[in-house]
Amino acid sequence: MDAYTRTLRFNHNPLNLILGTERKKGLRIGYMEAGLQGFYLNSMETGVHPQKLSRLLAEEFHCTDTESVTGLFQFLINEGDRVSYQIMLPYLLSTENINEFESIIQKRFFGVERFIRQGKNLYRFVKYTEERRDPIIWINDLEKGIIGWDMGLLVSLARASQTCGHISKEQAWKYIEQAAQLCSLDLHTAEEIDKSFLLGKAMKSGKIEDWDRLLSCYSLLGRHRK
C-alpha cells in the first residue's frame, strides 16, 4: 500500500457540517479518486498545493484553462467512458475466454485499438478480482455500469479546477451536485458507487500494481460505507 492509500484524509473543518445533502452525496462519490490522489475526502478544499493540482490537470487531462476544463466536464457528464463500457459489456458477459473476447471485439469494432485495450483491461481485472475474492464483482455490479467512475472523476477534477482558479467555487459545487444526481439514477449505496468506480478506473490500466493500489483504496473505504 503506497503513501496515497495508506491513510484517508478527512477535513475536520466544522463548516463541513452545514453542507447540504446533495453536496455531501457528491463529495462521497469522489472518495475513491480523492483517496488515490491524496485529497481531503469530505470538503471542497483538497489539501493539495495548487501547483501540484495544476500539473495533475495539465499532464493527465490536458486541462490548462477554463475552456479545456469545462469541455472535459461536459464530456464526463454526457458520455465519459460509460458509453464504450456499455457497448463492450454484452461481449464481456458472453465469454469465459480472453482470446475469444478479443476476437469478438476486433471483428465487431475493427480498428478501435483504445476500445479493445480497455475491454481487455476490464476483462482481466474482473478475472483478477475473482482470484482474490476481495471484492467480489457480481453480474449486477457489471450491469450497473461505470457512472461512478465518470462522476467520481468529475467531482475530484471540479475541486482541483476550483483551487487552480479555472472555475468558481459555486460552479464547482454545481458540477458536484450534478454528479450526485446522475449517480443516483443507477447507484444507491456507497458500495455500489465504489465498485462502479473500480470498474471504470481498472479499464484505464492493465498493470496489476495499479489494480492493487486501486483495491487497497477500496478496502480502506470499507469502514466508511455505513
* pLDDT tens readout for residues 55-98: 999 999 999 999 999 999 999 999 999 998 998 898 888 888 88
C-alpha cell at 40: 481531503
Residues 220 and 215: their CA atoms lie apart, in Å, by 9
pTM above 0.85, yes or no: yes
Least confident span in 3-7, 155-159, 206-210: 3-7
Q: From residue 139, how far is each of 20, 90, 142, 212 by CA, in Å? A: 33, 11, 5, 21
pLDDT at 111 over 70: no
Locate the domains of the chain by residue range.
Answer: 16-225
Return the axis-axis angle of helices 147-163 and 21-29, rounded to nearest 10°.
Answer: 110
Q: Cα 195 to the chain's mean position, in Å?
A: 9
Tens digit of each residue's pLDDT (9 = 90 or more) over 160-198: 999 999 999 999 999 999 999 999 999 999 999 999 999
